[in-house]
Structure formats: structure tokens, C-alpha cells
Amino acid sequence: MPITTELTRMLGITHPIVQGGMQWVGTPPLAAAVASAGALGMLTALTQPSPDALREAIKETKRRMGNSRGKFGVNITLLPSISPPDYAGYVKAAMDEGVEIFETAGNNPGPIIKLIQSYISPNADALPKRYIIHKCVTIRHALSGQKMGVDCLSIDGFECAGHPGEEDIGGLVLLARAAKELKIPYIASGGIADGRGLASALTLGAAGINMGTRFMCTVESPIHQNIKEKIVASTEQDTVHIFRSLRNTARVFKNAVSMEVVRLERRPGGAKFEDLRELVSGQRGRKVYEDGDSDAGIWSAGITVGLINDIPTCEELVPRIVREAEEIIRGVSASISIDGGQEAWDKVTRESKL
């Protein structure tokens, strides 16, 4: 029996699991495999060099899915830049190709969210339903996203890969706060890689989970096999934060390059971005995934590397996580006694929509 939540009903997916939108990783092979497994696949717009390239990636994803009825979306992450990419072009290209689900993140998402909500493709007769999942790292940003009219929020805890914000609040507290303050569905992101994480997120009120690092370490992930094996061999102590002194904190894998960045930041007087630019180049990070040299550049990884010990297919991984979550929930039901006995516990599980 699949776990049905507000997320699965809203998006028409089988399992309440979302693949994170990861630079150089959220490509057609992975997005199609995740979608075909019954979760929500995610293409990363900025991995593609142009809106036209994104159009082709969407078409390729659909071809790879074949007759699958799975769903995938497009991630639009807004980055601080003096020469920003053509975000509007990416949104319009995705909608022209029939994409209805978007994940937004980053700086000042209001204009892009409004465009997603209002754009009518030349191929459409009317304004179709759009589903927007907005990723944020604080409750105040989540409340802002709610006001903008997004459909779902992705609450990213301090455990996550990439940018956790500057407040260092873990998912346990963020999700509990979200349950008290948000009026729309939310999913848990950061620190989740197995069924125990899914069960915990549901108990904290989330409608599902977002996983990035776990999906990096699958057969269909486009990164080099050496990097997948490096993840399997790693522990939760093998990540580090960079850019702390620049107040643009990012969690990345602990390697020779990231530790040099940390060393430079800790010098008397600190470091400017210009001092770090060559070390943290995106092209160097891309080479990590392409060539398999884990010390070639900076690459994102969450502390869930400590929970990952195999490289399954997405078809194996997704139902396994759901099955584990179901077993854990049943185990808790059998082992914990609460006032009112089994009848009270059954009421709790019904209200959690399991």
C-alpha cells in the first residue's frame, strides 16, 4: 500500500518523495527514473545552457519515461549575479513543453512565481493549473512564500547539502515550527535518505520529503561512479561549510579544495570572494562529476552521506524507502502505549493521512 498524503494527491504521484533539483545532476536520466519509480523527478533548469536546451531536456525526459504515468517538474533557482540567466525564458520554455510542476528557490522569487502563475503558453487554450513548491530555510521565508500563493513549501534544514542559510536551525525544529505556523502543505528537505527519515517527516507534519544526496547515489544519477562510491564510503563527518565568512554558507563534501577555502576564510582578515573564485569555480565542480576525481573541485553533499551504503536503481530505492517507513510506523504503533490505547493511536495515524 502506498503512503498517501496531501502531496501525492496534489501532484498525482504514487509516493511522497521529491528529487532535489541539483546542478549538473538533475538531468533527464535521473528525473525520468525517479518519475517512473512513482516519486517526483526534477530537472534543474540552470544545468541547461539555455531555455532551448531545457526544451530538449524536457522532451528527452518524456522519451525516457515512455508510457510511464509518472510526473516530473523543473527547478528554477535564482542566484545572486550581476548577469542573471534568462529565468523567464526557462519558465516559458518549460510551460511551452507542458510542464506544470515547478520548484523555486533562491533570491527574490516573487517575480518568477508570479510569471509561473500567470503565463499562458501559445500551446494552451487556457491558464492551466500550476503547482509551485518553494524551497526555503527559515519560517519567515516560508510565510512569505505562502503569501505569494505557492502550493507547497520545502523546508530545508541545516543538515542539507548546498545553502542552509545563516541561522543554523536543524530540520527537527524547523518542521515543528512549520506545523504550527503554515496553512499550506510542506515537505521536509535536508538530512533524509531512508524510510526512517520519511516516517519522521510525516510525524512532524510534513506531506513528504525532498532528497538530493540520496538520489545522487543511484544507478541513473549522471555523476561518475567514483563519486558514488566515495559517497558510500563516507560518514556524516565528511562534509564542511564554506563561505561562512561571506554569509553565503554552503555545505559541500570535505576534500582538499573545500578545506583550502576554509583555511583562506579563517586567515586574519578573512577572504574575499575574489580570493576563492578559482577554487570554487562551477566548472571545476562539474569536472568532479564528469571525471570522478573527488578532489578536482567543490561539490555539494549533505550529511546523509553517513546514511548511504549502496547504489540502487531509483526503481529499487523509492519503494524501499516507503516500505521502510511503513514498517517503522507499524513498529511504533505496536511498541508504544498511549492514553486511549490502540483506538487513540489509530486516530493519530488517520489524521496523519497514512
CB 108: neighbour CB atoms within 10 A? 9
Residue 343's pLDDT is: 62
The CA distance from 78 to 55, in Å, is 19
Residue 348's pLDDT is: 54
Residue 94's pLDDT is: 97
Q: What residue spans define the domains of the chain?
A: 6-216+312-351, 225-305
E strand intervals along 185-272: 186-189, 209-211, 239-242, 250-253
Residue 61's pLDDT is: 98
Selection from 126, 28, 148, 21 nearest residue 78 by Cα: 21
Contact between residue 92 and residue 121 where contact means Cβ atoms under 8 Å apart: yes
CATH class of 6-216+312-351: alpha beta
Residue 170's pLDDT is: 95
Residue 90's pLDDT is: 98
Residue 346's pLDDT is: 64
Contact between residue 171 and residue 198 where contact means Cβ atoms under 8 Å apart: no
Residue 224's pLDDT is: 98
Residue 340's pLDDT is: 59
Residue 6's pLDDT is: 97
Residue 160's pLDDT is: 96
Low-confidence ranges of the chain (pLDDT < 70): 1, 339-354
Residue type, 180: K
